[in-house]
Amino acid sequence: MDDTTDCDFLSFDELQSLLPGYRLDPEPLRTTAMSRVYLASDTRLHDREVAVKVMANSLAAVPSFRKRFLREIELMAKLEHPHVMYVLAAAEAKDDLLYFVMPRAEADLRARLAKGFLDPIETARVVTQIASALDFAHARGVVHRDVKPANVLFGAGDHVYLSDFGVAKHAVGEDLTRAGDAIGTSRYTAPEVYGASQFANSGILTDDALDRSGDVYSLGAVLFHCLTGERPFHQVDDFTAAQLQREGKVPRIAEVRPELPAEFDAIAAKAMSLDPAQRYQTCGALAEAVSRAAARSSRRGRRPARRRSRALTAAVLVAGLVLGGVSSYLAFGPDSEASAQYAVTEGSVEPSVPPVTGDDQVERTPVVGECLTSDDQPYVVVACDSPAAAKRVYRIVTDPEDPNPEQPKHDDAAMQACGQDGIVFRYHWADTALWEKREWNPEADRIYYFICYQEL
């Protein structure tokens, strides 16, 4: 849930008297709408360093909130997984003071990101561990519903733990959130989950709105934060951010870090799609895509830069280098009059970058729906009604399937990725062999992406 401090908590002295086995730090580490977390030492176990989560005193008297806190304890106790935070000790259901004790974390992801973004390899490592915990929980009928950096903890050796199952839903149990509750946290929780009852008539809910695809969305939002060091929609307030989410907008990583490959934006766009069915089917599938992209980004970073103009900015370097390899393919299709028509195809998305208008020309990676000049490297984006517009991008496919790996120019793969509805198309592509400047190896190499376009 969003962090607030509206509830009544016991004073430190009262709390310490009720927990004689633990020596609490005077100031809480973290306070939310329901609880506080204190760093402490377990005096009965050689002063082992722990963290104690205590429920707000006023809420502990409310049966529904008591059930929710006890459910969190139960889920953390049952979800025995290397990347799920676990319980060392806890109150009993009959106790007036509700609390549980867990190992002390060295840091959380929110605090780490306050110092700056993570590199792609480190991001992939964090996302992979979170995804492992989420898929484990999903397989056991548990949906987290509040995945965000503050709930990602680091143990020794940067071992990642997923914590805070306070608003989690169990498939075989009662949903303990109430009608009208804002479930999760703005900017990270999927729009069909966050305040679900408030938007029941918005048209964006599915028959099973609170399913695991919501956690996939949240992990995509965490991915954005890791790579940029900024919260999703960081430039607007929470109300506006929630509205943008309900409209299906996805924040662009390239707007904050244009030096990163465009495929990270494609991954985030898929994970944070407004339609749950269009997202990755599992958190593990999202993590795999991030890991592949990070590995490629690392390899690219070690490659010598190609010859280029000194006037190019960092963003232009990315557009030129990441989208470096270019080939074209003309499909067999209808006559030229029909082929000149442009249709938005399945998988196309509304560009989330500022539109290029008038006579402006911007050197960067294109997005679906934008127009380009005839230049191939770097790409030059122009308004589609500009006299300089020569081609229109209608689809971008990352990690495409290759039905015929023996083809070094990927004709069949391009047809499968771009050639729908019999249209005449061309494409830009890049693969591992092209990047490393060697011959294509059908047994080991792979295609990075296709940028599908029609000539105007």
Active site residue 146: yes
Phi, psi of 432 (to 5 degrees): -65, -40
**For the chain, how are helix, strand and coil distributed in percent, rounded to 5?**
30, 15, 50
Q: Which long-range contacts (CB under 8 A, 24 or more apart) does 20-24 make?
A: 22/50, 22/52, 22/101, 23/47, 24/52
Closest CA to 54 of 90, 98, 19: 98
Give the DSSP H/E element, type plus range, for residue 77.
helix 63-78
Report the distance separating Cα 136 and Cα 78, nearest Å: 11
Phi, psi of 102 (to 5 degrees): -135, 165
Tell me the DSSP string of 434-453.
Answer: HHTTS---TTT--EEEEEEE
Report the distance separating Cα 394 and Cα 414, nearest Å: 13
**Residue pointed to by tokens 């992406």:** 449
- Find the largest Cα–Cα distance for the chain: 84
Fill in the amino acid letter for 451.
I
Catalytic residue among 42, 108, 146, 431: 146
Phi, psi of 448 (to 5 degrees): -80, -50
Q: Enumerate the active-site residues.
A: 146
